[in-house]
A and B are shown apart, each in its own frame.
Chain A
Amino acid sequence: MTLDAWLKAAAEDAERRGLPGLKPLLETLARATAALRAADFNDRADQ
């Protein structure tokens, strides 16, 4: 799942659950996850 798709789905789910205050936190989490995925310690199947 791409981060954009994840963030869109998560924000929609939070809205549906009546938690609009979660959206800015999910955006913060998305930035942190992007940094985690970009780290050089991650293994890749093609390398």
Chain B
Amino acid sequence: MTTIEEFGRRLRARRTTSAQVTEECLQRIEADNPRLNAFIRVTADEAREQAREADREMAAGHDRGPLHGVPISIKDLLDIRGLPTTAASRVRDGHVAARDAAAIAHLRQAGAVFVGKTNLHEFAFGTTNEDSAFGPARNPHDPSRSPGGSSGGSAASVAAGMALATIGTDTGGSIRIPAAACGLVGLKPSFGEISIDGVVPLSRTMDHVGPLAQTVADACLVHHALLGDARAVLPAPMPLHGLRLAIPRRYFCDLLDPEVRARFDEAIDRLRAAGVHVDEIEIHHADAIATVYLHIVLSDAAAYHASTLDSMPERYTPNVRIRLEMGRYVLAEDYVRALAGREVLRREVDAALAQHDALVLPTMPIPAPPIGASTVQVGSATEPVRNVMLRLTQLFDVTGHPAIAMPTGRTTAGLPCGLQLVGCRMQTDALLRVALSCEPQITLGFPRSGNVGG
């Protein structure tokens, strides 16, 4: 499937239309969604009308910017006016959104075409997409495997060429984990940068909205549209020579699948060979990350779900219900301890970035796990799947630093591996400049996802 950049060039050269590329996406959805279950709802008629309107506007000289006429899928956690927002749960049966989420309103203003709403782990509370009232989404690279989560249907939709980009949310890694599992770029912006108004919450102190796309440039264009800056041009890449990156080796590289480790080390070697200076640093309280995250997310989620856990518990999938119930037992004093831990971790990541342009670390310790697996072998260790998948991403939801996941090759079985770059808080554009410059070295020689199975 074409990238947003390529499509834009062809559109403005009058060599394609929004209607044509939208129809290609809808055909891929019709062909592959029964197999991948990426979409909960396909809005084909609305998308065709939006595309025709985009083409009429372009012909009349009204160019809305880089997202004009671009087919995009939306995680079914964000409100689109007139449509249900299911959050992949029967708890929300009968819901219809009265208005667009703020992020959706910005995309609509930018001229995006909405092809449908994508599957997710129920209420975004999981990393595999298995617990969904609509059944699991599947990974286009291997449908017996998870596409990651919670934005798993979103990632599957782009990797399979059903949309040029997608909008996900990230509370513990739910954009970056599926990006890694499906071989895509996934951007979690700085906390608070993109409005979460009109987004079903998991943890309002850690929820982020952001794009998954085929390239860093595409992610950048969608990010700016989400900000309401529809006409933004791509920032200049940071000069590669002299760039300063830091690997937080301890904890973050302790537990890695051997092939994920190999792809990460190879990417670092290529960056060094290109003139990037790579140091090693330490996040001293890294061992506290998981427990700090757990106490915050459980408490925040339990507060939101308390009344429906009591009034309609049977409507939740069993696994999500039982984990939400766990949150109702966290004591206030332990929640406060977790908030103190968050501040310590935030300062340590700030300090690590003081002398560096970005941190660099793997995105997910393992390739996409088989659907149904509760544990996974990582080297000689057997670990719970959920804990392993969250291990390298959740810190930056706790601290709010922007992070971008990028594909960096495949395993011998053809499964994508990924690494992430992490930037200074409220400096997502600076991080994107680093990512733009590093992308050729990180993704060197590997085919882009975006047409998997096609």
- A residues apposed to B, CB below 8 Å: 1, 6, 10, 13-14, 19, 21-22, 25-26, 29, 32-33, 35-37, 39, 41-43
**Chain B residue at minimal CB-CB distance from A21:** B322
- Considering only CB atoms, which chain B residue lies closest to A39 in the complex? B288
> Please, which residues of chain B bring their CB within 8 A of the CB of A41?
285, 288, 340-341, 344
Query: Could you say which residues of chain A place their CB within 8 Å of the CB of B292?
Result: 36
By beta carbon, the residue of chain B nearest A28 is B326
Query: Closest Cβ of chain B: how far from A2's Cβ, in Å?
Result: 11
Closest to A35 in B: B291
B322, A36: Cβ atoms under 8 Å?
A: no
Measured between C-beta atoms, what is the minimum distance from A40 to chain B in Å?
Answer: 8
Please name all residues of chain A whose beta carbon is closer than 8 Å to the beta carbon of B337 when the two chains form the complex. Answer: 36-37, 39, 42
Q: Which of B93-101, B226-234, B328-336, B358-366 lines the interface with chain A? A: B328-336
Hey, which chain A residues are within 8 Å of B340, CB to CB? 41-43
**Would A36 and B334 count as touching, CB distance under 8 A?**
yes
Contact with A along B293-322 (1 / 0, CB 8 A): 011001000000000000000000010001
Do A39 and B285 touch across chains, with their CB atoms under 8 A apart?
yes
**Quick check: B330 and A29 within 8 Å, CB to CB?**
yes
B323 interface residue per 8 A CB criterion: yes
A32 touches B329 (CB 8 A): no
**Nearest CB of B to A29, in Å:** 6
Residues of A within 8 A of B318 (CB): 21
- Chain B contact-residue range equals 20 to 34
Query: A36, B329: Cβ atoms under 8 Å?
Result: no
Task: Report the 3 A-B pairs with minimum CB-CB distance, sorted nearest first.
Answer: A32-B291, A41-B344, A10-B329
Interface centre among A14, A22, A39 (most CB of B within 10 A): A39
Contacts A6-B331, A43-B340 given; does A36 touch B295 at CB 8 Å: yes
Given contacts A1-B331, A32-B295, contact A19 B322 (CB under 8 A): yes
B residues less than 8 Å from A21 (CB atoms): 318, 322
- Is there an interface contact between A33 and B322, defined as CB atoms closer than 8 Å? no
The contact of B341 among A22, A25, A36, by CB within 8 Å, is A36
From the candidates B285, B290, B322, B344, name the one contacting A32 in the complex (CB within 8 A).
Answer: B290
Bound state CA distance, A19 and B291, in angstroms?
A: 23
In the complex, what distance in Å separates the CA atom of A39 from the CA atom of B341? 8
Confirm or deny: B325 has a beta carbon within 8 angstroms of a beta carbon on chain A: yes
Residue of A with least CB distance to B334: A33
- Docked Cα-Cα span, A39 to B337, in Å, equals 9
Whether B278 sits at the interface, judged by CB under 8 Å, is no
CB distance from A43 to the nearest CB of B (A): 7
Whether A33 lies near B291 (C-beta < 8 A) is yes
